[in-house]
Each structure stands twice: as C-alpha cells, then as structure tokens.
Chains A and B, each alone.
Chain A
C-alpha cells in the first residue's frame, strides 16, 4: 500500500516548456487535490476533483490544467511554464466525506 505517489520528484524547466505532474493513490479515495506551497504563502489549492470525472478550480488555477484519468490518478499540466510557477507541488487525497488529507511526497519544480 503506497498511499499517494507523485512523479517526478524534481524537475527543471525552461520558460515556455510544458510538463505533466503525475499523482496516483491506491487507497480508493474519492477526492483528490493539487496544492502548491511557496515560502510565506502556505499551501494553496490549485485544482481539486471531488470524484472521478469531475474537476473544479481552487484558489490559484491560472496556468494549470488537470485531468482525473480514473479514480486512482489525477494529473496536473503546465502548458507553458513561467518562473512564477517555481514551487513545491503536493497532491493529496481524501476518502469520502472524511476530512483527513493524505499527501504525496511532493514535486519540486524550478522554472528558469
């Protein structure tokens, strides 16, 4: 039981490049989330998916797209990376209506 996994762990991009951050959970959780964490800003919600087939914007969705491929997987795509997207990205999942969020280990992204 791996919990929540994220790939890659680290990534360096040049401005304008695109990439997809992958997230998968094996806990049969319904809801999945993407956050970014920046110094002095705390965790901010980018997008979330309440269930398979649904996605909604969070607090800071601009510049990102998401895809809930199936119940297990929730990917985050940067179509044209910008230096402002340099951050640590965390994926999280929640079972049903419970509130405990289980986080993946994070992806550290540097955009030059």
Chain B
C-alpha cells in the first residue's frame, strides 16, 4: 500500500456542483495533514490544513477520519477557477516537517 493514495481523476464537474475527494494514508501515527492546490505548470500552494475536528474555509471543507485513515476535501458551489490538481500531504512526524509525504494529486476540471 502506498503511503498516501489519491484517486487521480480527472473529476469533471459542472459549475455549481459539489465535489469531494478522499485521500488515504498508511501510517496510523501520522500527525498532521494538508491539502495543497497546484495549477497547471505552477507551484503547489497550501489550500488548507486538516484538523481533527474538521475545518471549513468558505466553500472548502476538510475532514480527518483517523479510524479509517483518510482525509477528505469537499468543494461546494464549484467555480471554473477551482480547476486544478489537489495534493494530499501527510506529515508522519510532529514538529518535524522534513519528511512530508505527498500524494500524486487529484485532478479537477470544472466546466461551464
């Protein structure tokens, strides 16, 4: 099993749709989790951190399920500008960000 797994997609959705991605991780001792966004031929940028209690930022909601070892990202009311690749990132070591584990990403295309 890969350390971090994501469905590569692509997810093709119409504007206004709600879409959800999951990401599974293999190390049950993993400490922190993130979603990054990467536009085509650009650098990754932090979208949001994922907290145990879940967190929401506007149209974006992230959840953590430690029992099943996955994190999720929900995007409501999709916009054309949400089209990107979403990278799941796991840090297995608290206070040590040298060994982040990066997923391969899930590609999202929002269509007019």
Spell out A's residues near B (CB within 8 Å): 31, 33, 40-45, 48, 50, 56, 58, 90, 94, 97-101, 103-106
Contacts and interface: CB of A to CB of B under 8 A. Distances in A.
Contacts of B49: 99-100
B43 A104 contact: yes
Query: Nearest 4 CB-CB pairs, A to B?
Result: A103-B43, A43-B102, A99-B97, A42-B104
A51 to B, nearest CB: 12
Q: Which of A31, A43, A105 has the most CB of B within 10 A?
A: A43
Contacts of A97: 95, 97
Contacts, number: 48
B43 A90 contact: yes
Nearest to A97: B95
Interface of B: 32, 34, 42-46, 49, 87, 91, 95, 97-100, 102-105
B25 to A, nearest CB: 13
> Chain B CB within 10 Å — which of A42, A48, A56 has the most?
A42
Contacts of B103: 42
Nearest to B2: A42
A48 B100 CA distance: 12
Contacts of A43: 44, 87, 102
